[in-house]
Amino acid sequence: MTHAATIGAAALPAATILGARVHGPTLAQAVALIEEWIRQPEGRCRSVVATGFHGLWVGHQDAAFRAVLNAADLFCPDGIAPVWLSRLQGRALPARVPGGDLMGALLRRADEEGYRSYFYGDTDETLDALCRRVEAEFSGAAVAGRYAPPFRSLSEAEEAEHVAAINASGADILWVGLGCPKQERFIARNKHRLTVPVAIGVGAAFRFQAGLVPRAPKWLGDAGFEWAWRLAAEPRKMWRRDLTDGPRFLAAALADAWRVRRAVTSR
């Protein structure tokens, strides 16, 4: 992989959508920035959000979660909706950076550089399949550890124990697959005590990389129809989000985008 010129998140194009600031890296820029954080951790954990309309809609409804999004060191637009809305605002983001693509690209770099990954989230079955695939396809990408937490609220003691295990693993990247907004809240809540250089919330990317759920073709995602592909693949999980929240998000976000565009063009 050719290294992109490293650029800090503050220098990236950005758009504010429903109050949340979304960065606009290319996939290569996102990977290069994360690699820089791994090489120069500076004694703190950086957080990466990769979400599309769902995370933005949750943030629109919940100010505390919107603050979590805005506190992220890097917010990658997982879906095409933030890209299209940024164009309507006149502040175009270059492209979507899906969590699955980001995970795949970083695992390839980990294979070459020996970065160690810790996988936290989903189920033991998913983690079994994921680790088998990583070991088969990315033999140089060490698995520092893995854990599937119970599907319930954790006590403070339990969460502290999990964080201690992650820290003790010596991982370079913490992958969190708890689903949005749970994974972003977990990272934000524990960022001050995590010693891993980078924590990335990637949701369904665990199952994509494990080969348990097929990814939509790139052309379909770029055309804005990955949601339809995922709805067909996982209807029980996706129907409410896509068919109920999706139209509500679109109405609110379009109104917001036109308001921003009018403000920009009137200056």
pLDDT digits (tens, 9 = 90+) for 214-231: 776 776 667 665 655 565
pLDDT of residue 240: 66
> Which of 205, 206, 246, 208 minimizes the C-alpha distance to 227?
246
Q: In 10 A of CB 2, how many CB atoms?
A: 5
The number of beta carbons lying within 10 Å of the beta carbon of residue 164 is 12
- The pLDDT of residue 216 is 67
- Which residues of the chain carry a pLDDT beneath 70? 1-6, 216, 219-221, 223-243, 262-267
pLDDT number for residue 161: 97
Distances, alpha carbon 12 to alpha carbons 64, 71, 139, 202, in Å: 24, 16, 33, 21
Task: Note the pLDDT of residue 215.
Answer: 72
Residue 112: its H or E element: helix 99-113
d(CA 258, CA 176): 34
Give the start-to-end residue ranges of the domains of the chain. 9-222
Helices 63-71 + 53-61 axis angle, to 10? 130
On whether the 9-222 domain is CATH 3.30.70, my answer is no
So what's the pLDDT on residue 210?
Answer: 92
pTM: 0.87
The pLDDT of residue 91: 83
Burial of 206-229, coded b for 16+ CB within 10 Å and e otherwise, reads bbbbbebbebbeeeebeeeebbeb
pLDDT for the residue 14: 94
